[in-house]
Amino acid sequence: MKKYSNTRATLAIAVASFRSIMRSPSAVVFSLAFPLIFIIVFANIGGGAISVDVGVAKTCDTSRADSLYQAIKQISIIHLEKNQSAAEMAQNLKKGDLDAIMDIQKHSTPPYYTLDIKYTTASAQKDGILSSLLDGMFFQINSKGNTVRQPIAELKEATVQGRAYKYIDFILPGMLGFSLLSSGVFGTAFVFLSLRLTLVIKRFFATPVKRYSIVIGEGLARLVFSWIGALFIITVGYYFFGFTLVHGLTTVVNMLILSAFGLIIFMGFGFIISGIAKNESTIPPLSNIVTLPQFLLSGTFFATTAFPSWLRGLADILPLTYLNHAMRQVAFEGAGLGGVTHDLLILGIWFIIIYAVAVKTFKWE
Amino acid sequence: MAKQPIITVKNLVKNYGDFEAVKGISFEVYDGEIFGLLGPNGAGKTTTLEVIETLREKTSGEVTVDGLSIDHDTDKIKQRIGVQLQAAGYYPNLNLSELIKLFCGLYGIDKTPAEMLGKVALTDKAKAKYKDLSGGQKQRFSIATTLINNPKIIFLDEPTTGLDPQARRNLWDLIREIRDHGTTVVITTHYMDEAEELCDRVAFVDGGHIVGIDTPNHFIDELVASGFERKKEVKLANLEDVFITLTGKEWREG
């Protein structure tokens, strides 16, 4: 008699699960269609059509041709508003009719310019873009125009190098994170609960298959599916919306590796929910408790920098925040996996916590 | 020919918390027979089967399957038995062919879907989904999945519940055919006519105990010898005979 192969059993489950996922409308809609729709909608708002309205304070130094003011004026998506009174500007800023008010002061000693910029919570999303733009620009100015002084250490991280930060560069990694989160949490929870309730797992146990084969087989199928989804989203983003891939294919591979880390952690939430849920109708509310806060707070659509500090504190706990951050570092800043070790470390801590809970709560039958 | 026991159950006890589902039952199943476990709901039939199938831990007692103890050799036992669970579903969104391939992988056996589906006359349903099959087809497909690993014993838990008379008879033929190929069949059922027709031997289970074990004919003879008489005059046919005569024997696909 041939020796029993656990690998073969695992792969058989992976193939079955993959086929099943591909034929499940909800999985395809959540992982491919939704992120794509979000990207199309937001990238079209974010490209060309978007303008960040910045009020120029009366005290602002607009004089010289080579000044900071002129450089900001060159940025196409920034629209400068000079004809309002200070009171009007303050009012419009509150309402979000202006996205920011800036005031540049010139000095004879370094720093030669100081830029005071006032953002508004009424326009947090655009301010995220503006803040990124300015960050990049300041770095450029500090490193190019200043041969005497060393560039400031904090700014060194933002190696923007004059590339335009498009909204697609922000939204696409966020959408990848969202896709992984929903596939990992909803998909895993639904599949394992339904396999348990319909006694599919029990029937599996009547064969010589090992428990770990079932978990690994399912995970493998979901990973391959998520990778296909990620490649699809990246391809569409790259060719149709000009998504930036700093190191080309290497960046894509790094993003896929990050996707795998993210998916494994999010699947852990799915395992926990499938264990707690009594029936299929309790899965959506439980899954939403996990996914919605991360969806909204983890910098999927707009930068968390716009949040008040208490909300940022909350965002700084969530795993998707770190996955999104790592994705953006890798995709746009060109960081390798070694450059996002801080994010990976926190994701690692999440992994340990989640799976410790999952082992306790998961039910086989 | 001396009958060789292939399953031996001795003083099997199974408790769920304070509830005693099985209270020390003993029986043997002989190689090559169709053995029926009969009894009302909650009598402990399914629990007993699941312990023998290595799906549940026993509380105490001894069970051997094909000479292997359920205490140490669960993996080897699983390779030698086929299990059809009561009301079990199959992996969602897959067709029958793909499900057979999945089970081939789980058992580590090379069989083609066509071969397995052919055995249960479902060749033309290879691309159908399990949920779209009729009741009888579902049961035959379940039986096909139990046969993949050429088992010595198959366990069928209420396979004919909910089937119409034609589908039921069709399934009996299939089960007899499997027995005639040398596979031992252990079956549970609520239908006494079915047990009488199909089983070589039956055991009655009630309240976690075995209250009798013998061939159906012997049980009936014994009861008659004790002076039992049916209240109604025995008719030469029953209503099911009328049903089959009026609607024909051919089994219809749902």
pLDDT digit string, tens, across residues B229-241 = 877 767 788 888 8
pLDDT by residue (tens digit) across B173-193?
999 999 999 999 999 998 999
From the list A9, A16, A198, which residue is nearest B98 (CB)? A16
**Domain total in chain A:** 2
Shortest alpha-carbon distance between residue B77 and chain A (Å) = 9
Best residue in B78, B83, B90, B93 for a mutation probing chain A (most A CBs within 10 Å): B93
Look at residues A136, A156, A176 and tell me which one is the last residue of a structural domain: A156
Which residues of chain B neighbour A198 with C-beta distances below 8 Å?
Answer: 88-90, 92
Q: Are residues A191 and A298 in the same domain?
A: yes
pLDDT of A155 reads: 29
- Mean pLDDT throughout B189-206? 92
List chain B residues with CB under 8 Å of A190.
none
Mean pLDDT of B202-207: 92
Closest residue, chain A, to B99 (C-alpha): A16
pLDDT number for residue A261: 94
* Residues A199 and A89 grouped into a single domain: no
> Which CATH number does the domain housing residue A88 bear?
3.40.190
Q: Kindly state whether residues A221 and A310 are assigned to the same domain.
A: yes
My answer on whether A208 and A289 are in the same domain is: yes
Helical spans, DSSP H, in B81-215:
96-107, 113-119, 135-147, 165-180, 192-198
How much is the average pLDDT of B218-228? Answer: 89
What pLDDT, on the 0 to 100 scale, is given for residue B253? 59
The C-alpha of A351 sits at a distance from chain B's nearest C-alpha, in angstroms, of 28
The answer to whether residue A161 sits within a structural domain is no
A288/A231 same-domain check: yes
pLDDT tens digits, B31-47: 999 999 998 888 889 99
Mark whether A173 and A238 lie in a shared domain: yes
**Cβ contacts of A199 on chain B, cutoff 8 Å:** 85, 87-89
Q: Which long-range contacts (CB under 8 A, 24 or more apart) does A38-41 make?
A: A38/A171, A38/A175, A38/A178, A38/A301, A39/A168, A39/A171, A39/A172, A39/A175, A39/A233, A39/A236, A39/A237, A39/A241
- Asked which of A97, A131, A156 is the last residue of a domain, the reply is A156
Per-residue model confidence (pLDDT) at position A44: 67
Q: Look at residue A141 and tell me if it is in a domain.
A: yes
Give the residue from chain A lying closest to B49, CA to CA: A206
Q: Could you say which of A128, A156, A184 is where a domain stops?
A: A156
Same domain, A41 and A58: no
pLDDT: which is higher, B52 or B162: B52
Query: What's the pLDDT score for residue A47?
Result: 45
Residues of chain A with pLDDT under 50: 47-49, 150-163
B79 and A CB contact within 8 Å: yes
Flag whether residue A16 sits within 8 Å of chain B, measured between CB atoms. yes
- Tell me if A15 and B101 make a contact (CB, 8 A cut-off): yes
Q: Are A363 and A199 in contact (CB under 8 A)?
A: no
Same domain, A315 and A343: yes
For residue A146, the model assigns a pLDDT of 56
Asked if residue A207 and residue A58 are part of one domain, the reply reads no
For residue A1, tell me if it sits in a domain: no
Q: Which domain holds residue A183?
A: 6-45+166-361
Asked if the structure places residue A247 within a domain, the reply is yes
Going along chain B from its start, the domains and CATH numbers come out as 5-90+152-247 (3.40.50.300)
Query: B102 and A15 in contact by Cβ < 8 A?
Result: yes
Instruction: Quote the pLDDT of residue A66.
Output: 58
- Residue contact A208–B79, C-beta within 8 A: yes
Given CB atoms, is B108 within the 8 Å cutoff of chain A?
yes
Residue A298: inside a domain, yes or no?
yes
- The CA distance from A337 to the nearest CA of chain B, in Å, is 36
Task: Quote the minimal CA–CA distance from A364 to chain B in Å.
Answer: 12
Q: Would A220 be classed as within a structural domain?
A: yes
Q: Are residues A108 and A198 in the same domain?
A: no
Same domain, A216 and A356: yes
* The pair of three-digit structure tokens given for residue A246, joined into one six-digit string: 């700093």
3-state class percentages of chain B: helix first, strand second, coil last, to nearest 5 = 35, 25, 35
Domain membership of residue A297 (yes or no) is: yes
For residue A30, what pLDDT is reported? 75
Q: Is the residue at A307 inside a domain?
A: yes
A20 touching B (Cβ < 8 Å): yes
Q: Which residue has the higher pLDDT, A83 or B225?
A: B225
What order of strands is seen across the sheet that includes strand B68-69? B19-30, B5-16, B60-65, B68-69
Residues A151 and A227 placed together within one structural domain of the fold: no
Sequence-distant contacts of A18-22: CB under 8 A, at least 24 apart: A18/A221, A18/A224, A18/A225, A19/B93, A19/B94, A19/B98, A20/A191, A20/A221, A20/B91, A20/B92, A20/B93, A20/B94, A21/A187, A21/A221, A21/A222, A21/A225, A22/A225
